[in-house]
C-alpha cells in the first residue's frame, strides 16, 4: 500500500481543478442522491449516505446542496435515476484501471469511456478483468506535520483499534482497515484530535506496477480524461511512481 498518498495527491490536485470548473459539486451531489435513493434518507441510518455527506463537506459543499440532493432522492423534487457501474480496463503498459461511475445511460457511458481509454494508450476490458487485483479497504491518510503524536504512539493506537496495515512515508501516515471497521477507526482518530488528508472506503491494489518517463505522462493524461467525464466518480489504478517523476508531469 506504500505510496498511496501520492495517488491521493494526484486526485486532490485534480479535485481542486474540478471545483473551479463546477464539476466537483455536481459529482458529489449525484453521489449523495444515489446513496439516499438506495437506502434510508437519514444519514444516521445509512452509512453510505453519511460518508457521501462527509466527503461533500470536506470540499466545502453548501448544506443547501446536500439537503436538496436528499430531498430529490426522497421524491420531493423530481430527479433522474442513476445506476452505479464499475468499468475495468488497462492503461499504458497494462496498468490495471477501475472506474466507478454513476450514469443514467450505461451505453453512452461505456462508449465514452472506451473512446477515452483507446485514445490514451489503453483499452476498456470486460467485467472482472482487473478487479481481482484490488481489495476494498478503509483508508486514512494523515499529513505527518499535522499529527500531534509520535509515530510509535500512532502505530499502537491504530493496531489496538483493528488496523490491518500502517505505513509511514516521508510526508504521510497511511492506515488501512477493513471496510466494516472504517467508521470505528475514524471516531478513534478524531477523538485524538487527528485530521485527515483522505478518509474513505476505497479500492487499494494488491500489487503495483512501477512506471516512469513517458508512461507517467500518458497515465496521468488517462486519469485526467476519465475524471473529466461527468459520469465518473472515482478512478483507481495499480501504478507507483517516484515523487520526482510525478512532479515533472503532474
Tens digit of each residue's pLDDT (9 = 90 or more) over 196-230: 888 888 999 999 999 999 999 999 999 989 998 98
Give the pLDDT mean for 43-57. 88
Give the pLDDT mean for 151-175. 92
Residue 121 is predicted with a pLDDT of 93
Residue 71 is predicted with a pLDDT of 85
Band of pLDDT at residue 1, cut at 50, 70 and 90: very low
More confident residue, 79 or 1: 79
Domain 84-132+207-249 has CATH 3.30.70.980: yes
Q: Which of 247, 245, 208, 193 is nearest to 97 (CA)?
A: 208
Residue 38 is predicted with a pLDDT of 82
Residue 203 is predicted with a pLDDT of 93
Mean pLDDT lowest among 28-32, 58-62, 100-104:
58-62
Q: Return the percentage of the chain with pLDDT > 90, whole number.
A: 50
Give the pLDDT mean for 86-93. 96
Q: Residues 85, 101: contact at Cβ < 8 Å?
A: yes
Domain locations in the chain? Answer: 4-74, 84-132+207-249, 134-205
| pLDDT at residue 17 tops 70 | no
- Quote the radius of gyration of the chain (alpha carbons, Å): 18
Burial of 142 (0-12, 13-18, 19+ CB in 10 A): buried
Give the pLDDT mean for 53-64. 85
| pLDDT at residue 97 tops 90 | yes
Predicted confidence (pLDDT) per residue in 112-147, tens digit: 999 999 999 999 999 999 999 999 999 999 998 989
| pLDDT at residue 70 tops 90 | no
63-74 helix and 23-38 helix, angle to the nearest 10 degrees: 40
Domains 4-74 and 134-205 share a fold: no
Give the right CATH number for 134-205 from 2.30.110.10, 3.30.70.980, 3.40.640.10, 3.30.2000.10: 3.30.70.980
Class of CATH domain 4-74: mainly alpha
Mean pLDDT lowest among 10-19, 166-175, 192-201, 203-212:
10-19
Give the pLDDT mean for 178-185. 93
> Please, what is the average pLDDT of the chain?
87
| pLDDT at residue 4 tops 60 | no
Amino acid at each position: 500500500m506504500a505510496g498511496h498518498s501520492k495517488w491521493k495527491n494526484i486526485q486532490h490536485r485534480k479535485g481542486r481543478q474540478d471545483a473551479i470548473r463546477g464539476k466537483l459539486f455536481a459529482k458529489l451531489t449525484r453521489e449523495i442522491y444515489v446513496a439516499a435513493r438506495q437506502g434510508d434518507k437519514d444519514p444516521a441510518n445509512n452509512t453510505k449516505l453519511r460518508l457521501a455527506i462527509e466527503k461533500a463537506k470536506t470540499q466545502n459543499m453548501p448544506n443547501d446542496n446536500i439537503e436538496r440532493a436528499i430531498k430529490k432522492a426522497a421524491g420531493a423534487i423530481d430527479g433522474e435515476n442513476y445506476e452505479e457501474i464499475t468499468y475495468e480496463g488497462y492503461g499504458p503498459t497494462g496498468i490495471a484501471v477501475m472506474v466507478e461511475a454513476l450514469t443514467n445511460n450505461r451505453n453512452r457511458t461505456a462508449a465514452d469511456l472506451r473512446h477515452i481509454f483507446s485514445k490514451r494508450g489503453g483499452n476498456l476490458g470486460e467485467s472482472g478483468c482487473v478487479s481481482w487485483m484490488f481489495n476494498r479497504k478503509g483508508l486514512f491518510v494523515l499529513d505527518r506535520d499535522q499529527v500531534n503524536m509520535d509515530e510509535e504512539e500512532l502505530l499502537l493506537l491504530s493496531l489496538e483499534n483493528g488496523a490491518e496495515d500502517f505505513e509511514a512515508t516521508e510526508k504521510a501516515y497511511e492506515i488501512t482497515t477493513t471496510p466494516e471497521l472504517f467508521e470505528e477507526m475514524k471516531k478513534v482518530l478524531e477523538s485524538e484530535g487527528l485530521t485527515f488528508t483522505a478518509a474513505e472506503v476505497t479500492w487499494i491494489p494488491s500489487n503495483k506496477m512501477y512506471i516512469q518517463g513517458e508512461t507517467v505522462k500518458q497515465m496521468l493524461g488517462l486519469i485526467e480524461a476519465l475524471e473529466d467525464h461527468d459520469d465518473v466518480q472515482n478512478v483507481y489504478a495499480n501504478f507507483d511512481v517516484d515523487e520526482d517523476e510525478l512532479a515533472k508531469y503532474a
